[in-house]
Chain A
Amino acid sequence: MSFKDLLDNGPKVVNLGMERFYLDLQDQEVPAVKVNWRPPLAKSSLMDKLRKLRGEEVE
């Protein structure tokens, strides 16, 4: 989905974080999913190394 798609088709949202934002989207009948997010178990340096091993290099 490009930025243009977002503007043309309206938002279809994955909400990560405050639930109130998700509920407000529901009120406006915006298609939305709420993610019941929790932090990674590893600190970010370990996460970076794991991601790298998985082949997800971030420049």
Chain B
Amino acid sequence: MKRIEVVKGEYYDSVTLMLVAKELKKIEGVHDASLNMATEANITIMRAAGFEVDTGLLSPDDLLIGIDYEREGIEDIFERARSYLASPPWKKEEKDTEYSPATLQGALSVLPESNLALISLPGRYAAAEAMKALKNGLNVMLYSDNVTIEDEIELKRFAENNDLIVMGPDCGTAVINGKGLAFSNVCPTGPVGIVAASGTGLQEVMVQLCRRDVGVKHGIGTGGRDVKKSVGGISFLRGIRELAKDPDISLIVAVGKPPAPEVREKILACLKETQKKSVICFMGDDPRKDEDELFYTTELEECAVVAEALIKGRDVSMARDKLKAEYVKLAGKRPVGVVHGKYVRGLFTGGTLCYEAQYIAQAHINPIYGNAPLREDLKLENSLKPVGHSFIDYGEDEFTQGRLHPMIDPSFRAEQVKQQSEDRSVAVILFDVVLGYGSADNPSFDVVEAIKSVNRETKPIYIAYVCGTDGDPQDLGRQRALLEEAGVIVCESNARAALLAASLVSRKER
């Protein structure tokens, strides 16, 4: 029905009246809304729109509100109109959105002292923007992946010739002077400098150091491909050299998967040149003997333990032995109750955590399939249909097309946890929860809900590692409590969680 109401003696400008009409038309059932001062011209317009206007005692200072509403209760719509006029709903509070420049150039005029471009644009655009940034004298952190290796080499060579660094592509974590970039955990600064060719690898080492009260001044990410032969470790070496010059840094830590042989040589030579002590962690590498100033580790927690010993002036071998002993004890733990099923399914959000977990677990359970396996022949045909022991990295490309990274949105991984839980052949589900900047606000929430909703009489054992520090925004204590309340066994490191998961099942196998 169409109806007109008159509001006497109140003037509104035509724009306000139009905006109120616009708001009213958003209401379901409102076919038309027309607000006009009662001038001759406006009365004509409203009549033309089908409203009956009784000109009787009208003056141009009166407001006409015309509503065409198809349902009962047209009075409510008039009420709404009046309230909109009184307090316009479109007026945002003066938390006015400052101008966001649309280009790098524009940004530089706003912040001329910029020294880093943090680029997380789609891969096909990222390289061009990175080059622009370098040409403008900015260092680059390239979070984006799907950048070609040719572009990576070109960018890094340019950076090298211009005294700049490119961290990435596919660099998820960096920390400069205690400030975190992209994904990072809140840790105090201290005498350690880290160069890492792996994002969650850097996070785990920093977290393990932080738990041992050892601070990190800078954590430089290089992206995973930096240590390949064709890239030659350009950023990795630059990182080491720069950290070496810093008087605040007394220990350098190098983290990544084993590099190409030529690059490895260069890295070792470079570390030796620094004349500072260094700890190397090439995950999954063959074990090597420590040299004078070079300490070799192959696992992330181990790396932190050795670093801690060096910083605190303790005996490194003793520190290693102590860690080993703790691991042995952990591996010997008896499960509470019966272990139903045979298989371990590792469902990860952090790529390096998944990788390390596989490496550690495969000493006890074999073979381990996955979408980012230790060996090509262990690759799953369908990553959504794991078989046997399987460790899946849900941050891999195949899962992140059209989906947020699981560290940002853990809901997809949580669905997989539920699905895998209902598979009766699964004995243990192992997973990571990564806290810190960049990660979800409540990272445990989804997986805990999933676990609670599992419909299997004999639930699998859940083992988790929370990669986070007390300083992280998500409240480490609360995250652990949530998990533990749901019956999850929370371990102190990624290595321990993997070890426990694998041992529980391997003991059963024996």
Asked if B102 and A3 sit within 8 Å, CB to CB, the answer is no
In angstroms, Cα B107 to Cα A4, docked, is 22
Binds A, one of B65-73, B117-125, B298-306, B348-356: B117-125
CA–CA, A58 and B453, complex, Å: 56
Which residues does chain B contribute within 8 Å of A39, judged by CB atoms?
Answer: 122, 125
Interface residues of B in 129-181 (CB under 8 A from A): 129, 131, 133, 135, 137-139, 143-144, 154, 163-165, 176-177, 179-181
Residues in chain B near residue A40, CB distance under 8 A = 125
Complex-state Cα separation, A47 to B127, whole angstroms: 13
Does B238 lie at the interface of the complex (its beta carbon under 8 Å from any beta carbon of A)?
yes
Q: Which of A7, A10, A47 contacts B242 (CB 8 A)?
A: A7
Given known contacts A17-B144, A36-B101, A44 and B121 CB-to-CB distance under 8 angstroms = no
| With A1-B138, A2-B164, A6-B165 as contacts: A14 and B116 at CB distance below 8 Å | yes
Given contacts A13-B118, A16-B121, contact A3 B107 (CB under 8 A): no
Say which residue of A2, A13, A44 sits within 8 Å of B124 (CB atoms).
Answer: A44
B-side contacts of A37, CB under 8 Å: 102-103, 121, 129
From B98, which residue of chain A is reached at the shortest CB distance?
Answer: A34
> Are A36 and B120 also in contact (CB < 8 A) when A14-B138, A28-B180, A47-B128 are?
no
Q: Mark contacts of A37-57 with chain B using CB atoms, 8 A cut-off: 1 yes-contact digit, 0 otherwise.
A: 111100010010000000010
Residues B120 and A11 in contact, CB atoms below 8 Å apart: no
A12:B114 contact, CB within 8 angstroms:
yes
Are A35 and B106 in touch, CB under 8 angstroms?
yes
**Chain A residues within an 8 Å CB radius of B181:** 11, 13, 21, 25
Residues of B near A21 (CB, < 8 A) are 118, 120, 143, 181-182, 438
Provide the main secondary structure of the chain B interface. Answer: mixed
In whole angstroms, how far apart are the Cα atoms of A13 and B177 in the complex? 14
Please state if A35 and B102 are interface contacts (CB–CB under 8 Å). yes
Partner of B117, one of A3, A7, A16, A24: A16
Set of chain A residues within 8 Å of B399, measured between Cβ atoms: none
Q: Does B100 contact A (CB under 8 A)?
A: yes
Contact A34 B133 (CB under 8 A): no
Q: Which of B369-416 contact A (CB under 8 A)?
A: 408
Known pairs A7-B242, A11-B181, A13-B114; A20 contacts B438 (CB<8 A): yes
Residue ID in chain A nearest B239 by CB atoms: A3
Quick check: A14 and B139 within 8 Å, CB to CB? no
Contacts of B111 in A (CB 8 A): 12, 14, 31-33
A44 nearest CB across to chain B (Å): 7
Q: How far is the CA of A11 from the CA of B138 in the complex (A)?
A: 10
Q: Is the CB of B107 within 8 A of A33?
A: yes
Who on chain A is nearest to B220 by CB?
Answer: A7
**Closest A residue to B100 using CB positions:** A36
A14–B114 touching, CB < 8 Å: yes
Cα separation A20 to B325 with both chains bound (whole Å): 42
Q: Is the CB of B100 within 8 A of A17?
A: no
- Among B110, B114, B116, B181, the most chain A Cβ lie within 10 Å of the Cβ of B116
Answer whether residue B345 sits at the interface, using C-beta atoms and an 8 A cutoff.
no
Kindly state the separation between the CA atoms of A10 and B181 in the bound complex, as whole angstroms. Answer: 11
CB contacts (< 8 Å) of A34 on chain B: these are: 100
Q: Mark B200-243, 1 if CB is under 8 A from A, else 0.
A: 00000000000000000010000000000000000000100010
Among B104, B111, B115, B121, the most chain A Cβ lie within 10 Å of the Cβ of B115
Which single residue of chain B is at the shortest CB-CB distance from A15? B118
Proximity string of chain B (254-270) to chain A, C-beta cutoff 8 Å, 1 when within and 0 when not: 00000000000000000
B-side contacts of A17, CB under 8 Å: 118-121, 143-144
Please state if A14 and B118 are interface contacts (CB–CB under 8 Å): yes
Residue B113, interface by CB 8 Å: yes
List of A residues within 8 angstroms of B78 by Cβ: none
Q: Is A10 in contact with B118, judged by CB distance below 8 angstroms? A: no
* Contact yes or no, B137 A1, CB < 8 A: yes
Answer whether A44 and B120 are a contact pair too, CB < 8 Å, given A30-B179, A35-B107: no
| A interface, CB within 8 angstroms of B | 1-7, 9-18, 20-21, 24-25, 27-28, 30-40, 44, 47, 56, 58-59
**Chain B contacts to A: CB under 8 angstroms:** 100-104, 106-108, 110-111, 113-122, 124-125, 128-129, 131, 133, 135, 137-139, 143-144, 154, 163-165, 176-177, 179-182, 218, 238, 242, 245-246, 408, 437-438, 473
In the A-B complex, the 10 residue pairs with the closest CB atoms: A17-B120, A1-B115, A36-B100, A2-B163, A24-B437, A3-B165, A14-B107, A33-B107, A33-B111, A18-B120
- Given A3-B139, A12-B111, A15-B117, 9 other A-B residues pairs in contact with their CB atoms under 8 A: A1-B113, A7-B246, A11-B176, A13-B118, A14-B114, A32-B111, A37-B103, A44-B124, A58-B154
16 A-B pairs, CB-CB below 8 angstroms? A3-B242, A4-B242, A7-B242, A12-B113, A14-B111, A15-B118, A16-B129, A17-B143, A18-B143, A27-B437, A28-B179, A30-B179, A35-B106, A35-B107, A36-B100, A37-B121
